[in-house]
Amino acid sequence: MAVPTGDVFYATITELSKRLRAKEFSAVELTKAFCDRLESTGAEHHALAHSLRDTAIKKAKDVDQELKRDRTRGPLQGIPYGAKDLLAVKKQPTTWGSRIFADQTFPEDAAVIQKLDAAGAILIGKLAMVELAGGVHYNTPAASLTGAALNPWDKTRWAGGSSSGSGIAVAAGLATFALGSETSGSIITPSAFCGVTGYRPTYGLVSRRGAMALSWTLDKIGPMCRSAEDCALVLHEIAGADDDDPGSAHKGYTYTPQFDRKVSDFRVGYSPADFNDVPADARPAFAAALEAVKGLGVKLKEVSLPKFPYGALIETIIGAEAASIFEDIVRDGRVDQLADPTQAASLKAAVDIPAIDYLKAMRIRSQVRQAFADLLYKDVDMMLAPARSTPAPLATSIRTGARESELIPAGNLAGLPAISLPCGFAGGLPVAISFVGRPFYDNHVLGIGRAFQAQTDWHRRKPGTASA
């Protein structure tokens, strides 16, 4: 067997699965190689929260025995992955990115970890995150127990939050895929900044049991991968009903690309302003991406988002729900141990959000859902916009200074699925577009992502290959 090197670390799930079954290398050899990279490069980029080398190698030995007996479970069997550190792993540290919870452990795995274990995937490490998944508001990339997450494309740049370690791990070839979570942008943003494919499922499609809660009515768990197809393969395993998650939609997901609609059937809405109001060095990439989308044969239509104060709504909802969840650390003063004083002050202030403000926000949110239902069933099937209008900012600041599409807060308020797709570079840094679909339109959103990536190779680029 060959020692895994080079392209192995940037291979897709399907590619690695074939090579494992062809016995080019064993699951143990593959796992050790990825663990070495995660522990060295991951630590260098502040992406690693906790290595799980010992348990990973034990799992890999079991997988090798299964493969030796031709017992196959599916494409994720033997595939090394990482998980954001807000997901519980039995008897292992789960810090939620904060020194407040540095010694915290749980008696059982999170639901998604259990499902991936059953699929034969190998968890090699807990990945860094912004403390408390960003809480109500944070002001610096250093708001994390592990420090500012450094982008693999340029270590002076931020990897994005709050699923920062997950974005780094995939982009730098430290794990084949990773799990992240999103409340308002925490999968889409690091995926865009790190040049990986990130998927935010429909709200309620994936169980959050065993995950840190930030906002019960907004939190979602999703995959960050090399491709849209990889995201679909992971979603196939982690989706499904869970009576122990009050937000569960009690729906499943089956990856069936053979039954998907033709891409030319889709009506895709977009606003030209979203593609024009970007920094000058990003315009060529976004213009080319828009042309690539047109080349798929989709029916593009200029539309405007329904008019709502999306930012204020989502801040109020996250603030009120997070204050309830983290009330104890505010009341007993531990909140002052947070790395970012801005976040500590925001959580303190959120405790005093009036119930009437929260209820008003939730009432208007129901109007947002109805407005998007009208838009996405009557006028178009999906929406398209830059995932982020700028590449990654400096690792000393999270501010980009550019106009951003409101699709991130709007889509999260309405519980809509979304995908971030690498689409080029600006100043040597990745940029991305995002498709947002109807609720439970997950197969179609992933399908258009696969179609886009079949015509482009941006998702195949890795740090050091930014030139067009």
Q: Does residue 144 carry a catalytic annotation?
A: no
pLDDT of residue 397: 86
Q: pLDDT tens digits, residue range 62-89?
A: 999 999 999 999 999 999 999 999 999 9
Q: What is the pLDDT of residue 4?
A: 76
The boundaries of the domain holding residue 281 are 1-468
Average pLDDT over residues 210-234: 98
Q: What confidence score (pLDDT) does residue 370 get? A: 98
The answer to whether residue 186 is catalytic is yes
The pTM of this model reads 0.97
What is the arithmetic mean of pLDDT over 299-307? 96
Model pLDDT, residue 403: 73
Q: Which of 32, 59, 84, 115 is catalytic?
A: 84
Evaluate if residue 244 carries a pLDDT over 80. Answer: yes
How many domains does the structure of the chain reveal? 1
pLDDT attached to residue 302: 97
Catalytic residue among 186, 227, 271, 420: 186
* Mean local confidence (pLDDT), 170-189: 98
Q: What is the mean pLDDT of residues 243-262?
A: 94
Known catalytic residue: 215? no
- Dist CA 169 CA 152 (whole Å): 9
Model pLDDT, residue 329: 98
* pLDDT for the residue numbered 259: 85
Residue 207 has pLDDT above 60, yes or no: yes
Residue 467 has pLDDT above 60, yes or no: no
Q: Say if CB 47 and CB 159 are below 8 A apart.
A: yes
pLDDT at residue 251 tops 50: yes
In percent, how much of the chain has pLDDT > 70?
A: 98
Per-residue pLDDT averaged across 143-168, rounded? 97
Q: Which of 162, 163, 271, 420 is catalytic?
A: 162
Q: What confidence score (pLDDT) does residue 1 get? A: 62
pLDDT at residue number 468: 43
| Confidence at residue 165, expressed as pLDDT on a 0 to 100 scale | 98
Mean pLDDT of 424-431: 97
User: What integer pLDDT is reported at residue 180 of this predicted model?
Assistant: 98
pLDDT at 119 over 70: yes
Mean pLDDT value across residues 351-378: 97
Let me know: does 134 contact 412? Beta carbons within 8 Å: no
**CATH number for the domain harbouring residue 26:** 3.90.1300.10
Q: What is the pLDDT of residue 258?
A: 87
135 has a pLDDT exceeding 90: no
What is the per-residue pLDDT for 2? 66
